[in-house]
Structure 1
Amino acid sequence: MSYNRRKFISFMGKAGIGAVVMPQFLINCGQVTTPTNNFTKTSSKRLNELKKLTLKGLEASDKDNLLLAKGLDYHCVVKWGDKINEIDTFGFNNDFTCFIPFDDNTPKDRLLWVNHEYVNPLFVSDFNANSNAKKTKEQVDKEMYNVGGSIVRIKEENGIWSVVQNDPHNRRITAKTPIELNWDTAIKGKTTVIGTHSNCSGGITSWKTFITCEENYQDCFGETRYNNNNIATHIPSYFGWEKIYKYPPEHYGWVVEVNPKDGTIQKHIALGRFAHECCTLYELEDKRVVAYSGDDKKSEHLYKFISSKPSSLKEGTLYVADTINGKWLALDWDNHPILKDKFKDQTELLIRAREAAKLLGATELNRPEDIEIDPITGHVLVSLTNNSDKNDFHGSILKIEETNGKFDALTFKASTYKAGGEEHGFSCPDNLAFDLAGNLWLTSDMSGSSMNKEDKPYIEFKNNSLFVIPRYGKEVGKVIRVASAPRDAELTGPWFSPDGKTLFLSVQHPGEQTTDLNNPTSKWPFDNDQIPKPTVVAITGDLIEKMNKLNIIES
């Protein structure tokens, strides 16, 4: 289903129609929503201001530039190849961004985490995938270095955010970094594995560590496939790294936690192995953790982990969603004979979570990607990007209403929050973020090979974009384009500063369709070498500040 304007306003909790009492949710700049006992009330004066706020969106564009709506500007914070310390450089294809306070008393001094999802060998290792050449160890090493993530200390001075050069906290996590498994059983004989890669979205824990998620892990070291007789076969990877390094595929496809202060890292096995687009955390009143994650692949599933101990991502139960009947199904080896018949123990079940989910009858979804919790209604929103196999080219956003608003509930209601397509002004929703006033921001994920092609269903949308759905004002409920990406690029990882004055955003894979370095399809961000570079930008301006004003009680 799709919402008309009247129904949409009702769905959004009637915010913007009259004085509103906010429930016990407080947005925390992006992927993390945590409970609070503070209630805020929107004053009539503030509502009148919001009703008068007019947003003039952008038209769809195929220009090779980062275009912003009126009232916005941007500056580059860090680009691929920039030095972050004496030995390390910023990685390739930056995706998810988030940060924590470096010091609680200095809001303009932060530790920024950035995912590096994958590489374009043509740019990174000078390897042409269309040639008959074999990739060398040196080329593989360059590619492995440029994925994972970066931690950089950033400061804001006079409205400009920049990296603190050579700060002791600046470091790289790569596909060569040793990482411990947070599990009592070894996987393929190892309790410490080598590297993280395919890092897509993520989040922040309540104990102030970074969460990064391994998505399309099969592209790096391949995958293990099982037939009906449970006989395993290795499926080769796209990048061919296993030809140089014989690392098992089972070491990848996990949720990874990074401590920004000391760089220690662990992979959380209890959350299951699949193409984790994200991991969105909610802390219950008793400090137990609920973690939502989607498997970004056609006809895969939505998962929820509920911990049994406070502040734990190890002890607990992993569930998978049956959205048709509104049930969370426990992926519990001990209590399901059908799972015991297929897998030898809980560890193997978690490694093969996709198979276990299908055995239990979980609902196949159209590429579940990012997940956010609405800070006002408490609804869980899930981006379903698309699924051409089922003729869903434009995707939708799924709404999950947990029973009685309890995030550890085992039943829920599922419905479509908003469908993509020309009628609704967006296609292929990906990353989601709520700002400090409860407006919903979303990015699109049309593939570079499909954008701006006359024979594809995306021609009207042109380049990928950033949109906002206002909660207040004349445009409440509308989908408004506020940024248009350079050619071939995707906008990812929206994250707001605590004061709501800056939106951090990744410009990922500009010029991805390039086949000749002397004639790139994009030259953004227009450095002297004219080579496209994935870049994190800071977006500022009057429009951002007005939309992010917190609701306050007038004295």
Structure 2
Amino acid sequence: METINLNRRKFLGYLGTGTVALAAASTGLGTLAPIAEAAHTADHLFAYDDLGLTPKAKPHAFFKPIMPTLEDELILPDGFSYDILAAYGDVINPKGDTFGFNCDFTIYFPIKGSNERGLLWVNLEYINDKYMKQQYMPLFMPNSSEDTMQRYHQGGAIIEVYRDKSGKWKMDTSSKYARRITGFTPFELTGPAAGSSAIGGKTTAIGTWANCSGGMTFWNTVLSCEENFETQARKSNLPSEHYGWVIEVDPFDVDDQTFKPRKHTALGRFNHENTCMGITKSGRIAVYMGDDKQNACVYKYISNGKYEAGKGKENSKLLEDGSLYVASFAQGRWIKLDATEVSKRVHDSKFSVPAVLKMRDQTVQSLRAMFPANATQAHVMVNTHEAAIILGGTPTDRPEDLEISPFDNSIFIAHTNNAAHGNIHGHITRIFEKEDDFESMEFMFEIFAAGGRQSGFSAPDNLTFDSDANLWVVTDMSESNIGKGVYEWHGNNGLFVLPTHGQNTGEAFQFASGPVGSELTGPWFTADEKTLFLAVQHPSATWPRRKGDVDPLPSVVAINGFKGNNLDKGNNGNKGKNK
């Protein structure tokens, strides 16, 4: 009989979430609970109603893990290959719009339920002036200024993609849906800050940029997150408080008029990485978010209203009216960001500036200006990081992507790194909400996996799940560190698979290695899990080397070779190269 070696703390932790089935699965005694009962998570697993999956003893059995490498190629396991869908400067539609720079987060939206034709939303995070050239601008914008090129090449792209009869993925440049969301797109402002003095009385904003990661709503729209927005706002002489928000776009709204692009101020303003959405036991929407900078916090938003599937995109209003909370890991609880309480604290004669804010040159006077005696929620939403720290939010090590496990409702957080704390390789945190409810104000947590030589990965970034409860993790080491010193063992940035149950829980198996200088971002599966979309950001040598390419070009790819749901094993063949 096989010996069961299950850590008692972990076992009790699983039971504490109400997921007895998962605890049984972890010991090899049972199967995972059906997803319809266990999870509400905004990812490709929306497509499934009842999986009832049996976990594999070795969840990496469907591919042979690769070794670290410094090769200037997108390296994949035997039996897998990739197709380049769009690269910087490629024309995407009949109008002549071009694909922007530094692609990041991706979401696939099926057309008529198809796993072989759909819309792909792609974030376009930032521009590198070294590669910014007029030749990559659309022909209808000749002789563009530097500011115009910078703002145009950021934001988001909606492209139509399909798999042809030979099995190759391509972009359909004749698509009526394909279009760009740029630094010039008009946005409506919603929520507490809209029209307030804290945002200059404005109800609209022009443009989006620094779009890092994001999420998918239950009503089939994109949530895209503005991260390092400050520099472009300053360069373009635009109000900084109009940026740093979560935007929402309907990819199927051809003219962006039926569902106008919007920025949701109720979700707070900070250096957003992504969003992940769940439904509480009472039927409300919960949105988890991270602030991607050193010594920053983890947030949760809970809507006041309840989600009604029949209302479709009207549910977007749930993101305009609710409460924003910050995590205190020291207390294991969520703290409500309340304007009255923040104002009361900063105007107390005994108030002293928290150390984290002192490092950002904040003073008592500047904080009192941010939060006047009559402060409203608008002031808190515009200055969310400061409010969170003042009220006791825990500063952490760059909380980037957060994802809800579709099997037990635990929340995984990629804490990328924080050299100031000596945490150079980062870690993945796992939160268990009390009573397995996203609306709970108490939680427990654990370090699910730590980066370093012992695990094989460093600087975890974007996350996604497959239907076998494997966590897919891309890494985000600085290009200046790759292959050097204490990072030498890692090779280029890559994509790793970490089982979240069974005997290999928390072990990292490398699935992909990116080209020289790049990071891999935005992994997203089609619903049948036969295709994985992935962005290759800031390659710096010669990739992708298509005919006519003169620069290394950020590109979004489709990875082939998967056998479908449960990621069937048995793939054999050659190293993954561009078809």
Mapped partners of 1:400, 1:338: distance in 2: 31
Corresponding position of 1:547: 567
- Structure 1 residue runs without a partner (length 5+): 128-135, 223-240, 512-520, 550-555
CA offset digits 1:324-349 (Å, max 9, x no partner): 11110101114555367441321111
Q: What letter corresponds to residue 529 of structure 2 in structure 1? A: G
Matched, 1:389 2:417: no
Corresponding position of 1:281: 277
| Gap change, CA 1:42 and 1:287, over 3 Å in 2 | closer
Aligned residues of 1:13 and 1:376 also touching (Cα < 8 A): no
Select between 524-533 and 417-426 the one with higher mean Cα deviation: 524-533
**Partner residue of 1:536 out of 531, 556, 565:** 556
**Partner residue of 1:466 out of 495, 510, 519:** 495
How far did 1:161 drift?
A: 2.2
SS at match of 2:213: strand
CA offset digits 1:175-218 (Å, max 9, x no partner): 11111101342422321111000000111111111110000011
**Partner residue of 1:20 out of 27, 31, 45:** 31
Matched, 1:250 2:241: yes
Aligned residues of 2:276 and 2:288 also touching (Cα < 8 A): yes
| Gap change, CA 1:88 and 1:406, over 3 Å in 2 | same
Corresponding position of 2:160: 153
| Gap change, CA 1:525 and 1:505, over 3 Å in 2 | farther
Matched, 1:333 2:339: yes
Mapped partners of 1:266, 1:366: distance in 2: 30
SS at match of 2:148: helix
Matched, 1:447 2:509: no
Corresponding position of 2:518: 489
Aligned residues of 2:38 and 2:409 also touching (Cα < 8 A): yes
Mapped partners of 1:487, 1:434: distance in 2: 26
Corresponding position of 1:517: none
| Gap change, CA 1:101 and 1:287, over 3 Å in 2 | farther
Mapped partners of 2:382, 2:202: distance in 1: 14
SS at match of 2:218: coil
How far did 1:471 drift?
A: 5.2
| Gap change, CA 1:542 and 1:274, over 3 Å in 2 | closer
CA offset digits 1:91-120 (Å, max 9, x no partner): 11000000222223x342212100000011
Aligned residues of 1:203 and 1:211 also touching (Cα < 8 A): yes
How far did 1:477 drift?
A: 4.1
Mapped partners of 2:154, 2:524: distance in 1: 20
Q: What letter corresponds to residue 544 of structure 2 in structure 1? A: W
Number of aligned pairs?
500
How far did 1:364 drift?
A: 0.7
Q: What letter corresponds to residue 152 of structure 2 in structure 1? A: Y
CA offset digits 1:15-60 (Å, max 9, x no partner): 37243141523576x7477698x554346xx858x67936421111
Mapped partners of 1:547, 1:27: distance in 2: 21
Matched, 1:507 2:536: yes
CA offset digits 1:226-285 (Å, max 9, x no partner): xxxxxxxxxxxxxxx23xxx2111110000000112232000000100000001111335
Q: What letter corresponds to residue 259 of structure 1 in structure 2? A: D
- Structure 2 residue runs without a partner (length 5+): 15-21, 136-142, 307-314, 348-367, 570-579
**Partner residue of 1:348 out of 360, 367, 379:** 379
| Gap change, CA 1:139 and 1:91, over 3 Å in 2 | same
Mapped partners of 2:195, 2:44: distance in 1: 30
Equivalent positions of 1:7-406 (< 5 A) are 7=7, 13-15=23-25, 17-23=28-34, 24-25=37-38, 31=43, 39-42=50-53, 53=61, 55-85=63-93, 86-104=95-113, 106-125=114-133, 138-158=145-165, 159-183=167-191, 184-186=194-196, 187-222=199-234, 241-242=235-236, 246-262=237-253, 263=256, 264-284=260-280, 287-310=283-306, 311=315, 312-338=318-344, 341=347, 342=368, 343=371, 344-406=375-437
How far did 1:66 drift?
A: 0.5
| Gap change, CA 1:55 and 1:111, over 3 Å in 2 | closer
SS at match of 2:334: strand
Q: What letter corresponds to residue 424 of structure 2 in structure 1? A: F
Mapped partners of 1:51, 1:88: distance in 2: 42
Percent identity reads: 37
SS at match of 2:558: strand
Q: What letter corresponds to residue 478 of structure 1 in structure 2? A: E
How far did 1:397 drift?
A: 0.4
Mapped partners of 1:191, 1:52: distance in 2: 49
Aligned residues of 1:470 and 1:476 also touching (Cα < 8 A): yes
Aligned residues of 2:155 and 2:210 also touching (Cα < 8 A): yes
Mapped partners of 1:489, 1:419: distance in 2: 22
Q: What letter corresponds to residue 20 of structure 1 in structure 2? A: T
- TM-score of the pair, normalised by structure 2: 0.81
How far did 1:483 drift?
A: 0.4
Aligned residues of 1:96 and 1:200 also touching (Cα < 8 A): yes
How far did 1:76 drift?
A: 0.9
| Gap change, CA 1:321 and 1:308, over 3 Å in 2 | same
**RMSD, aligned CA:** 2.8
Mapped partners of 1:6, 1:509: distance in 2: 42
Corresponding position of 1:420: 451
**Partner residue of 2:543 out of 516, 523, 534:** 523
CA offset digits 1:513-553 (Å, max 9, x no partner): xxxxxxxx33334443341111111111147765269xxxx
Mapped partners of 2:232, 2:62: distance in 1: 46
| Gap change, CA 1:526 and 1:63, over 3 Å in 2 | farther
Q: What letter corresponds to residue 249 of structure 1 in structure 2? A: S
Q: What letter corresponds to residue 517 of structure 2 in structure 1? A: D
Mapped partners of 1:82, 1:431: distance in 2: 25
Mapped partners of 1:18, 1:51: distance in 2: 16
CA offset digits 1:398-426 (Å, max 9, x no partner): 11110010001111112211111101111
| Gap change, CA 1:545 and 1:21, over 3 Å in 2 | closer
CA offset digits 1:74-103 (Å, max 9, x no partner): 111111111111220111100000022222
Aligned residues of 1:78 and 1:537 also touching (Cα < 8 A): yes
Mapped partners of 1:218, 1:144: distance in 2: 13
SS at match of 1:432: strand
Mapped partners of 2:394, 2:401: distance in 1: 17
